[in-house]
Amino acid sequence: MKWKALGIAVLAAWVKAVAAPNIIFIMADDLGYGGLSCYGNKVIRTPHLDALAGSGVKCTDFHSNGAVCSPTRAALMTGRYQQRSGIEGVITAAGHREVGLALEEKTMAEAMKKLGYATALFGKWHLGYEARFGPVKQGFDEFRGFVSGNVDYHTHIDQEGFFDWWQQDQKKDEKGYLTDLITEDALDFIERKKDGPFFVVLHHGAPHYPLQDRETPGFRKVRNGEGRRAPQPKVDREAVYVKMVEIMDEGVGRIVAQLEELKLRENTLIVFCSDNGPAMSVSPSGLRGRKRPVVRRWSSGARHLQLARRSSEGSGVPHSGNDDGSHANFPGDGRRHGGVGAPIRRARCHCDPQGGGDRARATLLALQRRGRGEGWRMEAYPPGREEGASL
């Protein structure tokens, strides 16, 4: 009976561990579909991510919810189409510093906290610049990183000249190369929360511009939106890009090694993906599209790579808790879109200064010329115009 009771206790402990795996979610920024060697890249060496792909699940038809940063991240955080949270375009450093993801939205971090998880986000946020919209207000216990679309990898200054490195809800610098800092903060968190369960999100800046490796000097200076942007010194773009991805891969290897040292790997789910397609200067590796505002059908969006690995079965992890069915409907509900349902053939764009409307219009016209434009409709959402306004 004594050994039976001990066996039951051990089994209960094992079931508890299986029901609450540690979760590490790693997302690259603007990494193309073929950006890793396990996806066919012959130049970039990513042995640690290749190992995850070899021992786990490698997705070859994995789609993001958007083609640019903020909408993709809003959808990821809430589990809903980004239109429902109002994040339909890039929250830019120049023109949208007062907006962000509403605190009423339920995020995956809040869902994990309800299950007793310690939560942290290290790296890029891009869902609001003010502290009131920050990760620690949206379910994350800890945050170190930046809230804009990109920062200088060394000086941590955004493209409009604002210093942008946060610890919790305060601006406070950490000296170091951006990708290394994100890895170091994650390692520290995992060590402190090793008794788990923990949920840690790493949103890398790499390989988004500015193209900088460890040796490329920082060039952005604080100007707080005044004056001209400082030009980046010329670099060997391809060589630097390769190093940026390989440094990120190196960090993944360090995290996996720590999990093995702490005997946590078998009960840890590791997910790696990119937020959307590659930037215009990077090859999409055989696919036709790159990162840009797009005209799209029902469930397209940017196709990119995704890896997942966990040895144990089962998770017990819920969805975000936005239980209005919005994860299954597009583009939105009657409250936000005038009662419009979800027809498959619907073209939508956010007309921002990046020229999304022009690109969307051109794509629609091309469809029409090919005899495939029947049933498509343009809907524009530029600042200061009503939803559904004609282009």
Where are the strands (E) in the chain, listed by range? 22-28, 57-63, 118-124, 142-146, 166-167, 170-171, 198-203, 268-274, 303-309, 347-349, 378-380
Strand, coil or helix: 134? coil
How many folded domains does the chain comprise? 2
Measured between alpha carbons, how far is 123 from 130 in angstroms, rounded to an integer?
16
User: Do 288 and 358 belong to one domain?
Assistant: no
Residue 324 lies in a domain: no
User: Do 234 and 363 belong to one domain?
Assistant: no
* Mean pLDDT, residues 217-237: 90
pLDDT tens string 16-35: 556 689 999 999 999 988 88
Residue 323 lies in a domain: no
Locus of tokens 């190093």: 243
* Mean pLDDT, residues 331-346: 29
User: Do 246 and 349 belong to one domain?
Assistant: no
User: Do 92 and 144 belong to one domain?
Assistant: yes
* Mean pLDDT, residues 358-373: 56
Is residue 37 scored above 70 in pLDDT? Answer: yes
Is residue 203 scored above 90 in pLDDT? Answer: yes
- Tell me which residue range forms the domain holding 364: 344-391
pLDDT tens string 67-121: 888 999 999 999 999 989 889 889 988 889 999 999 999 999 999 999 999 999 9
Closest among 189, 270, 197, 262 to 19, alpha carbons compared: 197
Give the strands of the sheet with 142-146, arranged side by side. Answer: 57-63, 303-309, 268-274, 22-28, 198-203, 118-124, 142-146, 166-167, 170-171
Contact in structure between 267 and 21 (CB atoms under 8 Å): yes
Strand, coil or helix: 64? coil
